[in-house]
Amino acid sequence: MGWEAHIDCDHTHQLPLQFEFLAERFYMNSNAGRFRDVFHGRNFIVREERVKLPNGEVETHEHVWRTDGTRIIALDANGKVLLTHEFRHELGDWDWRIPGGKIDTGEKPEQAAAREFREEAGYAAEDLRFLWATTLDSTVRYRRYFFLARGLTEVGAQHEPGEDLTVHWVSLEDACERALRGEIREEISALALLRIRHLLSADGASF
């Protein structure tokens, strides 16, 4: 495929911003002029981008555009947090992490979070609150939206083919210790647990 003009599309998700000191509104936009698609896969696109620098020079950058995803930090009435223990093909091993998954076409992040939490963990949340979203990486254009889930009802998981995981409730302190010891190897899950512990312990934090 050749170079083609890229028209900016506003993919802003209208999310409740309960935590204004963390939450922001994010855009999947680019100010660059042109793209050339190199590869189209089921979940990502590889693109070359012609970028004009402030000094007037033009460079070609390479990006991977992935389907955005969600992560859910679920707390029960006793303050325990839900972790999944899942076999990860990329690791060739089992890993602890918080539940989540891809945002399907046409879904809002909060809809995807509710669906993934129900399908993967087997719970529905009466209170699902947006917390924050990650920023885009320089080479991987991909964003994760984080939610806090409370008021939980067990509804039964519906795992996708190939998913091999179990659900566990642990204290938030235990989860954070696992994160610090490197037992939660997905860094984004480890950081989210440490961050929510800090928010819950902060003076004046309201959840």
Tell me the CATH class for 69-201: alpha beta
* Lookup: tokens for 73: 């930090």
Distances (CA, A) of 22 to 64, 146, 173, 196, 203: 26, 11, 22, 11, 15
pLDDT of residue 169: 97
Residue 94 φ/ψ, nearest 5 degrees: -90, 150
* Lookup: tokens for 14: 């209208």
pLDDT of residue 114: 97
pLDDT of residue 43: 81
pLDDT of residue 1: 41
pTM of the complete model = 0.78
Domain range list for the chain: 4-66, 69-201
pLDDT of residue 183: 94
Residue 189 φ/ψ, nearest 5 degrees: -70, -45
pLDDT of residue 203: 57
DSSP characters over 24-37: ----------EEEE
Q: CA-based angle 84:87:88, to the nearest 5?
A: 105
Going from the first residue of the chain to its last (207 residues), give the mean pLDDT of each consecutive group of 10, the final group possibly shorter: 35 34 32 73 88 89 91 96 92 92 93 96 96 89 94 90 90 97 94 96 64
